[in-house]
């Protein structure tokens, strides 16, 4: 089954998303809402188009992607750049540059951020509160 990229971006007070190669743009307040809106928009698009764009023909599944600036800005209410620095090993000042769009992280930096997030997620998922 082919994968269809849905790119989620931070838009000041909410999130927006677009599907690469398709005439679909959605917004939402949360990532879950953007996912739901994207699914609904594609469903409506396919119902109304006998000959849809190439990317939405046949069987596919969505792959939701978020760039580093969007991730840092959207989740800034959940954790600080200082906390993100601790879990990723990336300098806090560099994270500020990524968040502001001044610099884009290299592949190695992206991998460090992804590894740190996954490690924290795994640790939190293993906790049982009393």
| Residues 72 and 114 placed together within one structural domain of the fold | yes
pLDDT score at 78: 87
Looking at the structure of the chain, the number of domains it has is 2
What does DSSP say about strands 25-28 and 60-66: parallel, antiparallel, or unpaired?
A: unpaired
pLDDT, block means (10 residues), the chain with 130 residues: 94 90 95 96 93 93 93 88 94 94 94 95 95
Domain of residue 89, residue span = 68-125
pLDDT score at 48: 87
pLDDT score at 119: 95
pLDDT score at 17: 96
Residue 28, domain CATH: 3.30.160.620
pLDDT score at 49: 87
CA 85 to CA 121: how far, in whole Å? 15
What does DSSP say about strands 25-28 and 2-11: parallel, antiparallel, or unpaired?
A: unpaired
Let me know if residue 130 belongs to a domain.
no
pTM, full prediction: 0.81
| Residues 74 and 62 placed together within one structural domain of the fold | no
């Amino acid at each position: 089954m082919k994968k269809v990229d849905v790119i989620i971006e931070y838009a000041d007070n909410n999130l927006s998303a677009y599907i690469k190669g398709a005439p679909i743009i959605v917004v939402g307040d949360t990532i879950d809402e953007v996912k739901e809106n994207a699914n609904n928009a594609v469903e409506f698009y396919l119902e109304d188009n006998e000959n849809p764009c190439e990317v939405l023909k046949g069987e596919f599944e969505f792959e939701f992607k978020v760039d580093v600036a969007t991730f840092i800005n959207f989740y800034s209410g959940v954790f600080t750049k200082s906390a993100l620095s601790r879990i990723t090993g990336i300098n806090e000042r560099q994270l500020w540059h990524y968040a502001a769009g001044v610099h884009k992280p290299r592949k190695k930096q992206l991998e460090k951020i992804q590894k740190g997030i996954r490690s924290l997620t795994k640790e939190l998922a293993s906790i049982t509160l009393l």
